[in-house]
Structure 1
Amino acid sequence: MKSIRVASYNIRKAIGTDRRRNPERILEVLNEIDADIIALQEADRRFGVRSAAIPAWLLESQSSYKPVPLNVQSDSMGWHGNVILVRKHADVAAHDVLHLPCLEPRGATMAEIGLYGRKVRVFGMHLDLSGLWRRRQAAAVIHAAAHGEALPTVLMGDLNEWSANRGCLADFARHYSFAPCGRSFHARRPVARLDRIMHCTRSTLLDCGVHESAAARRASDHLPIWAELKLG
């Protein structure tokens, strides 16, 4: 059984550590990671029509990925900035958006993806910055992931949790295993593990890490994280 590589990346609307918006740099990093499935956060602009930070034509022409079609807004790629990218040859069997309890706009995305003859369920999320709603948001994602077909399940995103093992991390840990990827924020000098990948018992972690290339240190204030999984 071929393993799959998943990744999570907060691209900060394609604004780099030099404060320049440059979606081409984000695509350079995505191509370096070479993951099969990628959860992006802050992939849409925050104000106005919330257009995609990476134009559709650019993603099509300069990458091997396509976005999971969420059918929410015509100009944006994601749901509250959350996007799931998959290989162009992957089969998207199902997809949905999750409304998370919040004071500020927050959401999560879900997709069931067919790759290499197997199917995996993936959730992408970006949880509350203040900490007031993170545990309730985590509970909503855990509840959604517990329903439906029994599939290998991966949860990824920017959890915004600074503690080592408390809060929403403890809640997720009751149901999922964390890939110990490493520190991903801030990109120039990482001090915190804000970005996380979790997997269920139907998959086995083979390897994981933080992608720390020169391009990744410039492209966003977060570094992308990745994990190699064998699906059971």
Structure 2
Amino acid sequence: MTDVETFRCVSWNIHRGRGNDGVVDPDRTARVLHEEVCSSDLDALILQEADEEAPPHRGFLDLARIEADTALRHIHGDASHRWGPESHGFLGTVVFLHPRCRVEDIALVDLPGHCHRGAVVVDFRLDGRPLRLAGTHLSLSQGLRVAQMRTLGQHLFRRAARPTLVCGDFNEWRPWGGLALSHGIIGLRLSGPAPATFPARRPFLPLDRVLVTAPARVATARVLDGPGLRMASDHRPLRAEVAFDP
């Protein structure tokens, strides 16, 4: 059971179920999620590349199995919260939350670029504390990452202020974040460490991040490891513990 002062989350690009052996195996993905990724104290799981790449962006996971194994709940049950009726989420980004997280609003944000990208923005309360979670997957191109984070930042700026976590596969290899993650582009001051998550077998690039706004802070950020994780995707999962200062 978690406590109100800490929010624990994992972000993982699951590579559409394709492992480092070239085999697409959704059963392996679900098994590794259960055995090596999701502990009993987790509040949120944010996946990227959890839908097929081409329209209609079908989901390929066994959602009921993941919910049973992790005790987390898939938040995209309503069709308006998915890209399409066969999708698990929005353009591959799928969010699971602990049942104690009371969801208030879910928004899907289209991000610019020749390769369709998007963000899922969830407003919720954890034991009465208002929080916001934005999960996304940014482009490989720096110019497009700047445009995408500008678009997401403008959306967040127009919403009522609350502590915000922005997480996912940012495809940003520079630990300092570059222009795309700067305050001038986003309009929010985001902070958080940048441990290496890519490639899975021997990570040296910090492509995946969990960043937060004050008064939240990333107390710990740990790249998960295990025999299944080194095989199941080209990324390692990033687990973060977010603390809330008075």
Give the distance between the partners of 2:175 and 2:220, measured in 1 at CA. 21
Distance 1:146 1:173, change over 3 A: closer
Give the TM-score, by structure 2 length: 0.85
Matches within 5 A, 1:51-90: 51-69=58-76, 70-90=81-101
Give the distance between the partners of 2:133 and 2:172, measured in 1 at CA. 20
Relative contact order higher in (CA < 8 Å, ≥ 6 apart): 1
Identity fraction in percent: 28
Which residue is equivalent to 2:204? 191
Distance 1:30 1:52, change over 3 A: farther
Instruction: Indicate the larger mover: 94-103 or 112-121.
Output: 112-121
Matches within 5 A, 1:1-232: 1-20=4-23, 21=25, 22-28=28-34, 29-32=36-39, 34-47=41-54, 49-69=56-76, 70-165=81-176, 166-171=178-183, 175-232=188-245
Give the distance between the partners of 2:159 and 2:224, measured in 1 at CA. 33
For structure 2, the residue ranges without an aligned partner over 5 or more in a row are none
Give the distance between the partners of 1:92 and 1:187, measured in 2 at CA. 32
Give the distance between the partners of 1:84 and 1:5, measured in 2 at CA. 13
1:207 and 1:228 in contact (8 A); partners too: yes
Give the distance between the partners of 1:133 and 1:37, measured in 2 at CA. 27
Give the distance between the partners of 2:15 and 2:31, measured in 1 at CA. 12
Aligned residues: CA RMSD: 2.1
Give the distance between the partners of 1:216 and 1:33, measured in 2 at CA. 18
Deviation of 1:61 (Å):
2.8
What is the number of residues matched between the two proteins?
A: 232
1:181 and 1:227 in contact (8 A); partners too: no
List structure 1 runs of 4+ shifted beyond 6 angstroms.
none
